Structure 1
Amino acid sequence: MAHVDPITFEVVRNALLNAAAEMKVVVMRSSYSTIWRESGDLSCALLSREAEMIAQGPGDLPAHLATMPFSLRGALDKIPIDTLEPGDVLFHNDPQWGNNHLPDCVMAKPIFVDGEIIGFSGVRGHWTDIGGMGAGSYTAVTTDPIQEGLRIPPVKLYRRGEMDQSYVDFILANVRVPRDRLGDIRAQYAGCVTGERKLLALAEKYGRQTVVDCMHEILDHGEQLTRAELEQIPDGTYHYTDYSDGDGVTDGSIKIQVAVTVAGSNIHVDLTGSHPQTIGGMNCPLAVTYSSVQYAVKAAADPWNPANSGCYRTVHVTAPHGTVVNPILPASVVAGNHETAMIIVSAMFGALSQAAPERVISAGSDSSVVTVIGGIDPRPERQGRKYVYIEIQGSAWGATHRGDGVNVMRAGVGNTGNQPIEVVETEYPVTVLEYSMVPDRSGAGKHRGGVPMRRVTRLDGDAQVTLIAERGRIAPFGLEDGKPGGLGEYCFNPGTECEEKLFSKTAPIDRQRGEVLSVCAAGGGGFGPPSERDPEQIRRDVEAGFLSPEMAEREYGVRVDNRVKGSGDPS
């Protein structure tokens, strides 16, 4: 490999990053699903011929991206690279071939220059429905992986630039709202073509070999930056155990146990001792477990620089087969992709806090807080069409040594936005009655945990409702003597005689028009002793509605009226 001069390297590197970002814009603006065009629940990337991640979109999802090399390698194991032709497009969603879970369908287009593949453009998007036992294909309460939906092994969905209609017809016959799914297939294809055009333009300007050399240097550079930061973390082995609420099928929590060994610029994560494989959909395919560990290392060691596969060369994982972090496939995995994955991340942060507390955060909501509502739209203008509405709710994040946790924002392995109420109420037969931040759920500390969100939704027609959330039973932990965050709360018909509390994972439930669903995520854990919090910050929290005066006095010993007074002040 020839060395590329630094100016050309930076120009090409940034052009590839911009290409990935443009791919996402194209997909979002051409997609049919509100979860794509409003929430951005999709990710785009450019990969090398060897299926290594070269460039990814800046706001895309780690759960999608770090697993994309696994998915592409799986596809190439089944469809060898030397059988690909210009215009071919690979497609699948099967965890047995490296995918993360069934709703996330990955599409990859080989990019040819002078008759040779130099890389791939890839788009992974969360399909609103992929079949299965319930609307939206989203419930952890599965006892058989067949219940999760249609499993599509790697196929050539496009051959020499032409869509293979027989595959498409088969897929659309097995999903809800096939019109929207066809639109999303075409949007994914448009994203792949956009990435291809950008890479071809670079190859034409700088030459094929220069672009290939830049790809290799990008990976090496990512590795160097990550290794330099890991060397700043003290060597040693650090242990932590965290728990998920459970899978909703069997009673009892799910243990995630990590031993993180830092040795110079290498890091080894051993998940031995984690819970056995679950019946319900909380299992993490190995690709997801690697993705979670890689995300945690990247966030703790080197969050500033663009991520690529080179950053993860220093990360090594042991995950015993037959456990929740490496199940025997096929297995139920739908919620492992983000619920169990985030518990792995939090356990990683808990372990690393013993070595470098300034690099990690306390636990937070640690959940996508997914609500699925589906059925037949009763509104006359919708002509009784089927619909599937998926909402991924904002969450609270744990505090750090530098400041308070982030409020009502989803990030972590699943970095998506909320859908605007105006769009939701236009597209679906629901009315959003409340969309608010919830006080007194933040873990107390020198820096308080993040404030969670409550979303209260009325059904304007009979519907099937499913919930996948977390931290309704196991509170988010604080660090350095910070207090735990408040538990999540999920129920139907709150404040009425018909109020019905829900576990954080439900089966698809048939509900009637007029019923109300309340979903409140857990709060973030605190960081540092509550006694060290600045009273002025406590007053501001009360003024902002993050904290009630009663909670301020109970947790911090500070009485808040028109001004801040110590709890011993008699006035």
Structure 2
Amino acid sequence: MTATTEIVWDGVQRGYVPGEELHVAEGLSLHERVTDTVDPVTFEVIRYSLLNTNIEHGRTLQRLCVSPITMLTRDFQPSITLQNGDLVFLGPYLQYFSNCQSLTIKWILENRSENPGIERGDMFLSNDPYVGSPHQPDAVVAAPVFVDDELFCWVANVLNHADVGGNDMGSFCTSAEDMFTDPPALPPVKIVSRGRVQADVEQLFLRQSRLPNNVHMDLRAAISANTVAVEKITSLIDRYGADAVKTVMTRVLDAGEQTFAERLRQVPDGEWSHRIFAEGKGTGDDGVYAYQLTVRKQGEHLYVDNAGTDPQAGSINATYASFIGAFLCSLTASMTADLAGAYGGVYRRVSFDPVPGTLSCADFPAAVSPAGAYTIETMISLSSAVIAKMLSCASPELQKRAIGPANPAFYALITGGEQDGRPFIAPNVNNMIGGLSATPHTDGVDFGGHFWIPEGEAGNVEELELLWPMLFLYRRAMPVRADGAGCYRGGRGFVEASIPWSVPGLAAALYIDESFPRLVGPFGGNPGTVGRFRLKHGSDVLDRLDRGEVPQDFDVLDGESEPVQAKGPMLMVGAADVWEWTGANGAGYGDPLTRDPAAVLRDVLAGALDAPTARRVYGVVLTSGGGAVDDEATRKARATATAERLAAATRPSGEVPTVAPDTEIRPIGGELGVVDQDGKPEFFASLTGRALLGLVTGNFKEHCAVLERLTGEVGPEYASSPGRVGERMRYREYLCPITGLRIDSEIVREGDEVLHGVRLAVGS
């Protein structure tokens, strides 16, 4: 599955990469037998029983856990694997956890089967990111399932614990400089031996936490849920026989692989790349750091690398496990969501060739604990953007499967303190509300969640006020503006404001405040929202509440604003202080000046968009009453906007060649198309202007008009706070040299080279 070199990828100094053959102790027998006597009805009964085992496993976790991040938002994942750790089924929860479990189980087989051994009734616990966990709060509990003396399969779960130690409460330690200031990481240890919890190991894990009671209950929930899943699979084996159940498992894997291979045949051979920048490597830093991902498709196989990513730095790193998890969850969501979690066969067709020592594939002892809010989401966004580019070049059937890129961070807030003499930690993950990016055919879903955690839910405000000492002033939809605009607009996110309540104050340990947009809209769509966090000290909010007024506008409150950083230190919040933070609108798709004016009008009539913004962003002019589109004025406004773009852009020298009127241009995405020769792609071209943009083996951007400006000049929605690095980031637009319509765009630093984002093989 993974291309390796002489470097040892052992889960100690570098992320764990299992070889083609696992080195398992001779005394451990693995069940591998299958049969050819399983009839179709029995096959389906067993298949759905396995699928439903994960559903019940997840519901057991939800019922038994006490931490809101698990109990309410479903930040967990149950899975079933073969005896060798290959994934069979995962549940409809946090998708990138599946490879985490698979890698951890394979590591256990190679490193624990001899000593202390793997026996019936055992379970193993691990939160080591260099073995398999995405970051330390995500702890794996894995249980082998035995038939007689043979290891038949595994069940496992991963869930996010409220606190597992480290410098910062909640264990997202942005100030960590390495693993020695990060939360402790436990390689797989036996937490249950022959059905009995190992008290010493359990206490070792709990001792690191600021909330040992919560972690204790959630750990016991993980153990209990595994026990339920083991019993269900054992009962299934007792009814149908081990060989029949194993046959269904292996055929499910084979069928998934075959489905994926068939779909890959509809994708031309080629190479697709994308790049995203992060702000700040940790507390006190305002540097800009690059993450890059490239996918090469050849035949019925994908090859993935992260060349172009900056070296590991600060706390914005992730390990190999997160790198492949981010890509695989994006790939399966786009191309094989209909397999309902049976994704192990898909994984067989993907090979990874990571560059070690980088931000997205860090070597020990790089700090990784904040990855769950920053780096993993950055890599999911990268992966989904690259996969969308690839699918845009595929058959019309596969083009419909392309989804918009995910938000490049999980906008969240972790606060904490003491209430009635007891510590509390409040991980506010209300951004489970989400706001999906636009697709090639539709607007993004408003408050649509996130494709990488289908069952994720935001907390109900009343529930959160009951759990934590805070009062919510408002939680409402973000407006439709430049952020997320496009031919199809991104889905809307939210903005939320709160104050401490019944306590003298609290602390904010994790918050996200960006100074430039990071989520680029595909094929000329506007970037998504810049995530914001604002804090005002000594406000008049309590006086207003005493007067019976619930403030609904952060800006009207008196008080002193606290300057914040992208990854700043812990902030102290007093009783009269108020904070506001945002989720994000998803990115747009295609040039906003090509959006159907009727769709713009619908947003205006719904109160999501105002008329001046409609004109500024979309070039849509409404009649004086605001109830209809002024078609002629709109046409003129859009013509003026595209002419101004071209006048400000650097245009290609010489006369622009065009495609003959009788030659078909096959749409790829937005304004980009391909001219085929004998049914095979040969040239890139713009759809409306019919400008010829070079061979498909080259970079079409080199034949575009290029308009580059500061991101803040694109719209006030992207304005940077004074003195922040966002004041220097730039938005580079690649325009049709004939019409001025956007074909593509990038967020870049000044002087960055042009990214070669799409390259097709001639004759593919």
TM-score for both structures, normalised by structure 2: 0.71
Contact 1:365 1:471 survives alignment (8 Å): no
Contact 2:511 2:533 survives alignment (8 Å): no
Between 1:235-244 and 1:498-507, the stretch displaced more is 498-507
Partner of 1:563: 627
Partner of 2:466: 426
Are residues 430 and 26 of structure 1, via their aligned partners in 2, closer, same or farther at CA, if it must alter by over 3 Å?
same
Partner of 1:463: 506
Matches of 2:632 and 2:510, distance apart in 1: 45
Question: Per-residue CA shift, 1:36-75, capped at 9, x if unaligned?
Answer: 11111111111111011111112x1112122210122223
AA aligned opposite 1:194: V
* Counterpart among 211, 233, 238 of residue 267 in structure 2: 233
Between 1:194-203 and 1:229-238, the stretch displaced more is 229-238
AA aligned opposite 2:183: G
Matches of 2:363 and 2:390, distance apart in 1: 33
Q: Is the counterpart of residue 171 in structure 1 residue 205 in structure 2?
A: yes
Matches of 1:21 and 1:472, distance apart in 2: 40
Q: Is the counterpart of residue 270 in structure 1 residue 273 in structure 2?
A: no
Matches of 2:296 and 2:43, distance apart in 1: 34
| Larger Cα-atom Rg | 2
Matches of 1:411 and 1:17, distance apart in 2: 22
Are residues 206 and 158 of structure 1, via their aligned partners in 2, closer, same or farther at CA, if it must alter by over 3 Å?
same
Matches of 1:502 and 1:365, distance apart in 2: 21
Contact 2:163 2:171 survives alignment (8 Å): yes
User: How many Å apart are 1:269 and its aligned residue?
Assistant: 1.2
User: How many Å apart are 1:364 and its aligned residue?
Assistant: 4.6
Are residues 298 and 81 of structure 1, via their aligned partners in 2, closer, same or farther at CA, if it must alter by over 3 Å?
farther
Question: Per-residue CA shift, 1:485-530, capped at 9, x if unaligned?
Answer: 2322111124244122433423332322232221112322111222
Matches of 1:501 and 1:520, distance apart in 2: 16
AA aligned opposite 1:403: T
Matches of 1:498 and 1:470, distance apart in 2: 17
Q: Is the counterpart of residue 75 in structure 1 residue 108 in structure 2?
A: yes
- Higher RCO, Cα 8 Å, sep 6+: 1
Are residues 545 and 138 of structure 1, via their aligned partners in 2, closer, same or farther at CA, if it must alter by over 3 Å?
farther
Q: Secondary structure in 2 aligned to 1:400?
A: coil
AA aligned opposite 2:435: A
AA aligned opposite 1:372: I
Are residues 23 and 470 of structure 1, via their aligned partners in 2, closer, same or farther at CA, if it must alter by over 3 Å?
farther
* Counterpart among 84, 97, 122 of residue 118 in structure 2: 84
Contact 2:373 2:411 survives alignment (8 Å): no
Matches of 1:478 and 1:369, distance apart in 2: 18
* Counterpart among 469, 473, 487 of residue 516 in structure 2: 473
Q: Is the counterpart of residue 403 in structure 1 residue 442 in structure 2?
A: yes
* Counterpart among 477, 487, 510 of residue 446 in structure 1: 487
Matches of 2:227 and 2:125, distance apart in 1: 14
Question: Per-residue CA shift, 1:347-369, capped at 9, x if unaligned?
Answer: 33433444432343344533221
Partner of 2:532: 489
Q: Is the counterpart of residue 521 in structure 1 residue 562 in structure 2?
A: no
Between 1:282-291 and 1:150-159, the stretch displaced more is 150-159
User: How many Å apart are 1:215 and its aligned residue?
Assistant: 1.2
AA aligned opposite 1:42: F
Are residues 336 and 257 of structure 1, via their aligned partners in 2, closer, same or farther at CA, if it must alter by over 3 Å?
same
User: How many Å apart are 1:424 and its aligned residue?
Assistant: 0.8
User: How many Å apart are 1:169 and its aligned residue?
Assistant: 2.0
Are residues 214 and 260 of structure 1, via their aligned partners in 2, closer, same or farther at CA, if it must alter by over 3 Å?
same
User: How many Å apart are 1:301 and its aligned residue?
Assistant: 2.2
Are residues 374 and 409 of structure 1, via their aligned partners in 2, closer, same or farther at CA, if it must alter by over 3 Å?
farther
Q: Is the counterpart of residue 141 in structure 1 residue 141 in structure 2?
A: no
Are residues 85 and 470 of structure 1, via their aligned partners in 2, closer, same or farther at CA, if it must alter by over 3 Å?
farther
Contact 1:367 1:470 survives alignment (8 Å): no
Matches of 2:355 and 2:226, distance apart in 1: 35
Contact 2:317 2:371 survives alignment (8 Å): yes
User: How many Å apart are 1:200 and its aligned residue?
Assistant: 0.8
* Counterpart among 476, 481, 489 of residue 436 in structure 1: 476
* Counterpart among 412, 423, 437 of residue 386 in structure 1: 423
Q: Secondary structure in 2 aligned to 1:446?
A: coil
RMSD: 2.1
Q: Secondary structure in 2 aligned to 1:422?
A: helix
Question: Per-residue CA shift, 1:87-146, capped at 9, x if unaligned?
Answer: 211111012322221000110111112232211111111000001112111232321323
Contact 1:135 1:508 survives alignment (8 Å): no
Partner of 2:410: 368
Question: Per-residue CA shift, 1:262-288, capped at 9, x if unaligned?
Answer: 1121111121111110112x2111011
Q: Is the counterpart of residue 350 in structure 1 residue 385 in structure 2?
A: yes
AA aligned opposite 1:66: N
Q: Is the counterpart of residue 251 in structure 1 residue 251 in structure 2?
A: no
Partner of 2:606: 544
Matches of 1:156 and 1:48, distance apart in 2: 20
Contact 1:245 1:474 survives alignment (8 Å): no
Gaps of 5+ in 2: 1-33, 393-398, 537-553, 635-764
Are residues 527 and 428 of structure 1, via their aligned partners in 2, closer, same or farther at CA, if it must alter by over 3 Å?
same
Where do 1:71-220 residues align within 5 Å?
Answer: 71-80=104-113, 83-220=117-254
Between 1:360-369 and 1:197-206, the stretch displaced more is 360-369
User: How many Å apart are 1:568 and its aligned residue?
Assistant: 4.8
Q: Secondary structure in 1 aligned to 2:202?
A: helix
Question: Per-residue CA shift, 1:289-332, capped at 9, x if unaligned?
Answer: 01111122223322221232211111111111111121111321
Matches of 1:162 and 1:437, distance apart in 2: 49
Gaps of 5+ in 1: 378-382
Contact 1:94 1:152 survives alignment (8 Å): yes
Where do 1:241-320 residues align within 5 Å?
Answer: 241-249=275-283, 250-280=285-315, 282-307=316-341, 308-320=343-355
Partner of 2:29: none
Are residues 489 and 240 of structure 1, via their aligned partners in 2, closer, same or farther at CA, if it must alter by over 3 Å?
same
AA aligned opposite 1:376: E
* Counterpart among 30, 43, 48 of residue 9 in structure 1: 43
Contact 1:285 1:325 survives alignment (8 Å): yes
Are residues 369 and 169 of structure 1, via their aligned partners in 2, closer, same or farther at CA, if it must alter by over 3 Å?
same
User: How many Å apart are 1:157 and its aligned residue?
Assistant: 0.8
Q: Secondary structure in 2 aligned to 1:166?
A: helix
Q: Secondary structure in 1 aligned to 2:442?
A: coil
Partner of 1:380: none
Percentage identity across aligned positions?
26
Contact 1:338 1:413 survives alignment (8 Å): no
TM-score for both structures, normalised by structure 1: 0.94
User: How many Å apart are 1:436 and its aligned residue?
Assistant: 0.9
Are residues 470 and 479 of structure 1, via their aligned partners in 2, closer, same or farther at CA, if it must alter by over 3 Å?
farther
Matches of 2:107 and 2:498, distance apart in 1: 40
Matches of 2:222 and 2:53, distance apart in 1: 15
Contact 1:128 1:390 survives alignment (8 Å): yes
Between 1:451-460 and 1:463-472, the stretch displaced more is 463-472
Matches of 1:314 and 1:396, distance apart in 2: 31
Are residues 347 and 153 of structure 1, via their aligned partners in 2, closer, same or farther at CA, if it must alter by over 3 Å?
closer
Between 1:556-565 and 1:101-110, the stretch displaced more is 556-565
User: How many Å apart are 1:389 and its aligned residue?
Assistant: 0.8
User: How many Å apart are 1:338 and its aligned residue?
Assistant: 5.0
Contact 1:35 1:390 survives alignment (8 Å): yes
Contact 1:481 1:528 survives alignment (8 Å): yes
User: How many Å apart are 1:387 and its aligned residue?
Assistant: 0.8
AA aligned opposite 2:522: L
